[in-house]
Amino acid sequence: MNALKVVSDFAKPLISDNAFSMLIFFVTSRCNSVCRTCFYWDSLNQEGDLSFEEIQTISATMPRFRDLWLSGGEPTMREELVDIIDLFCKNNGVSTVRLPTNGLLTGRIENIVDSVFEQNPNITFHINLALDGYGETHDQIRGVPGNFEKALNTLRALTPRRDRYPGFRLFVNSVVCKENYEELIDLGHFIRDHFDVDGHYFQIIRGNAPDLDLKDVPMENLRVIYENAMKLHRHYLNKTREKPDGVPQKVFELFYLGTYLFTYETQFNNADHNELWKMPCLAGTTSAALDFDGKLRICELRDPVGNLRDYDCDFNKLWESKIMRDEVKQMHEDQCDCTHICFLYNSLKSSSRVKFWDIPKSYFKFKKSNERFNWLRVSRNERTPKVAESESAVVESLSS
């Protein structure tokens, strides 16, 4: 196959139009954790989850789209979760499903993965397991004693399914906050050395957390975390199953690592000095957030536009309404921006400038600086980074 055509085919999905492509769906408000970093904490364990019949109507009135990002609550606590996934795959052509979980319900999560692939063997299904620190740190942030060990048990139980199902992806996700930033680098090394996963995400705490003090993360420490995260991403690059056949390794590396670099740079500059994105946010155009009780938002960090229950669960009726268009207009007038990776990633995919200028630029800048983020400007919380315990010391303390 002609090399130019291979690269062209690889790049084609990177130049997407502004069609609807992503739904974040809070499938339940039920949760078995008490996370102090949660932006959704005041909506948890409420009455009024959408019924499966209501979800069927919503799906039937939605356009076709690619990415379904599940949320909650703890989404694995939704009884009909597998049927909900199947519904959107069959009705709407969903090809990628992402499921975050606290990992507490090991057997339940195993059954969900097996059942999803039994019904839809050709989809890509991501499990993103939350780990916010070692042992007690994780348990205190998550509000559940023993959560760390249960999460590791779930990680061990799911690992063999990476070989069983070609479309299964297993990731660890860590929320960076005041109580864990000193040990996240070592946690990343621990996961890399002891578990067979597809990658490890590091996301700065966002939104209206119940413990706002946790948002006080020194920017210099965040920069160091991002530098070390890139070393981990390079490790996972060598084992990724996302590389299309025929695409030169260097081209794939540029986009794979460059995308991480661009998002980290964007998040850092926004968290540090509220710098705007280099592309428009497409919330309300290519993406939406659906609450457990039918409220529809263009973004989970903005107020609801309306409730689908007031529109007979007809998604299109509310989506095409004047109040929805007014909300999108208001978002742009507000110059709304954030560190939210879901909307950041979805928006950058529709920007040719970002994909073919800013991402390569970030990649080559990083390479030129000996893989350091030394061009990032720290303007607040300037402190001397604290040195975390060595990984061996932490692991030893866990086993003692």
For residue 145, give the amino acid letter.
P
Q: What is the model's pLDDT at position 184?
A: 97
We report the CATH number of the domain holding residue 267 as: 3.20.20.70
From first to last of its 400 residues, the chain has per-residue pLDDT tens of 344 444 444 455 555 568 999 999 999 999 999 999 999 999 999 999 999 999 999 999 999 999 999 999 999 999 999 999 999 999 999 999 999 999 999 999 999 999 999 999 999 999 999 999 999 999 999 999 999 999 999 999 999 999 999 999 999 999 999 999 999 999 999 999 999 999 999 999 998 888 989 999 999 999 999 999 999 999 999 989 888 888 899 999 999 999 999 999 999 999 998 899 999 999 999 999 999 999 999 998 899 999 999 999 999 999 999 999 999 999 999 987 788 888 888 899 889 999 999 999 999 988 888 888 877 767 754 433 333 333 334 334 433 3
Q: Which domain holds residue 104?
A: 3-399
Q: Which residue has the tokens 């992806």?
A: 169
Distance CA 111, CA 118 (A): 10
Strand positions, DSSP E, 237-363: 287-290, 295-297, 306-307
- Give, as one character, the DSSP assignment of residue 67: E
Distance separating alpha carbons of residues 223 and 212, to the nearest angstrom: 21
Other beta carbons within 10 Å of 280: 15
Beta bridge partner(s), residue 21: none
Residue labelled with tokens 């607040």: 380
Q: What is the dihedral of CA 197, 271, 341, 84, to 10 degrees?
A: 100
CB 38 within 8 A of CB 210: yes
pLDDT value at residue 245: 85
Count of Cβ atoms closer than 10 Å to residue 141 Cβ: 27
SS3 296: strand
Q: How far is residue 337's CA from residue 320's CA, in Å, rounded to a whole number? A: 23
Domain count, the chain: 1
Measured over the CA atoms of residue 148, residue 150, residue 155 and residue 156, the dihedral's sign is positive
Q: Which helix (H) or strand (E) holds 342?
A: helix 341-348
Q: How far is CA 157 from CA 33, 96, 113, 114, 285, in A?
A: 21, 22, 11, 12, 38
What are the backbone angles phi and psi of residue 283, rounded to the nearest 5°? -60, 135
The residue type at 135: G
**pLDDT value, residue 16:** 52
- Other beta carbons within 10 angstroms of residue 163's beta carbon come to 9
Is the Cβ–Cβ distance between 104 and 144 less than 8 Å? yes
Number of residues assigned to the chain? 400
